[in-house]
Amino acid sequence: MNSEISSRSRWAIVALAAICLLWAGMVLGISCLDGPIRFTAPSLKQAVAPELGRAIALDIGRVTFSAFSKVEIVWSLATLILLLVVRPFRKIPRAIGVLFALVWPIVAFQSLVLIPALAVRAQMIMKGQVPPPAPYHMLYSSTEIIKLVCLIALGVLLIKASAVHEESEAAV
């Protein structure tokens, strides 16, 4: 029975590390690479009407970030469930809990507040309107950086926790 518990705990720790690092890679790919580069595409600048190219880029961004927000909710739920699997069987470093406690509210804030607000702004721009100044892009970028750092740190800490877990099992 004890080895079954440790096997489940080890599996959950490794799965958590994999999810966090995969998630961090997705954030890098979508927010840090795709988002900014989309607006530099030569075909969008060469459009008959440059405003049309910008509208297309905004629409693609709106759809992409909305879909990614849903993926991040799934990742958040998956990490919460796996963390609950690990928690009863093995003490994990406190920093892991703290980092998840930062990531989950960021995802909620982005999904419930920032993504909808940015989508409304994108719709306004696509209709030729000029939205009033707002801090949404700055807040989204800032929370993305914090989330990315937390996810990378979580991946590293979870890999270390997995190694420590294996060492403690080998000693028994």
**Whether the Cβ atoms of residue 45 and residue 53 lie closer than 8 Å to each other:** yes
**Whether the Cβ atoms of residue 152 and residue 123 lie closer than 8 Å to each other:** no
The pLDDT tens digits along the chain (172 residues) read: 344 446 777 888 899 999 999 999 999 999 988 877 877 777 766 656 667 777 888 888 899 999 999 999 999 999 999 888 776 455 678 899 899 999 999 999 999 999 999 999 999 988 889 999 999 999 999 999 999 999 999 999 999 988 875 555 555 5
Q: Where are the domains of the chain?
A: 2-171
pLDDT score at 83? 85
Provide CB contacts within 8 A for 148, sequence distance 6+. 24, 27, 28, 31, 32
The distance of Cα 155 from the centroid of its chain, to the nearest Å, equals 13
DSSP of 88-112, one letter per residue?
TTS---HHHHHHHHHHHHHHHHIII
pLDDT score at 90? 59
* 105: phi then psi, degrees, rounded to nearest 5: -65, -30
Residue type at 33 in one-letter notation: L
pLDDT score at 119? 95
Q: Which residue has 């004890």 as its token pair?
A: 2
- pTM of the shown model: 0.86
